[in-house]
Amino acid sequence: MSIFSFFKHKLPGSSIHYRIQPRKVKFDWKETPVDWIPNQPFASYFINEINNILPAGEFWFCRLYNKVLPQITDEKLRQDVQAFIRQEAMHANAHTSANKEYLSARNIDIQRNLDIMNFLFSKLLADKPLDYEVPKALQHQWDLFRLGVIATVEHMTCVLGKYALYNKKWEELGADPEMVDLVKWHGAEEIEHRTVAFDLYRHLGGGYIARYYLSVAVIAGVLGLWVDGAAHIMKQDPRFADKNPSLWHPWIWLEWLKQGRKDNQVLPSPIWLVAQQIDYLMPWYDPVKEGSTEDAVQYLDQSPAAKRALLTAA
């Protein structure tokens, strides 16, 4: 056996034994109100902004993973990545349907938010960033940097997935079941495939030190984009006219903190979200320990949207 073959064989591979299951879903937004959590316009808009943030990024995940797929030498990890791609494509389509059939249909202008996300993922983080050719000698490092971004984002989405899956407050307040199902279905699949991005990053050479700067940059970027986008759609609602929602206005951050308190729990607290990054920075971080696959699959087996898609196919 050659030295190259030995080290190639020793590369970290898949850390799970179960099969990730892509699922088709179908949502119907005709009856979903703008305040899908009754009497909670701030939280409703805040979570609605996720529909604007996710599609461009998820399609970008798929493009990059398809690009690096030939480099994967672990067969189980290859299968994990292929299933991940199919799940992420379905997530992007589901949130796009919410944008077109729910937010835009209710005269909420989201184009500015979509344009920002499209620029970020189709231009800035593209194979040719801002249309500049990456030198051949640096192409692997550019791919690895972007894979590290995805691994960090996927840790955050897994954390948010856990919050959504176990949240009972929305149902207690009489939240719209369609939107609750979208968020919980997506969250459950994030838990199911929580190992894939991290495993792939390490498999292709991702290092421990890079997780620090990537984690800091990604969490700041995600929180900033989330607040900025939510502020933009809130500005269109006369109920927030006197609040002047803005990324740079303290009110929106203070309100988020208020809505994320333990006695409220209609939103995950930003402090809690940042604290959840600490585990990711530890040398012994293991994504398998983030959430329960059994709980996630149990929800996915009875998700109304998944059942509706099966009936439609039949």
Task: State the residue for tokens 């088709």.
Answer: 24
pTM: 0.93
Continuous segment of H or E residues that includes residue 59 = helix 41-68
* E strand or H helix at 294: helix 293-302
Residue 258, pLDDT score: 94
- Please calculate the CA angle 258-263-264 and round it to the nearest 5 degrees: 55
Give me the pLDDT at residue 312, please.
Answer: 65
Predicted pLDDT at 295:
97
Helix ranges, 111-234 (H): 111-119, 139-166, 169-172, 177-192, 196-203, 210-234
Q: What H or E segment, with its residue span, contains residue 62?
A: helix 41-68
CA distances from 130 to 144, 178, 222, 314 (A): 18, 38, 20, 45
Q: How far are the Cα atoms of 14, 54, 144, 171, 262 from residue 180, in angstroms, in the given order? A: 31, 16, 35, 8, 19
DSSP at 92: H
The answer to whether 11 touches 73, Cβ cutoff 8 Å, is yes
Q: With a cut of 50, list the residues of the chain below it in pLDDT.
A: 1-9
pLDDT value of residue 308: 81
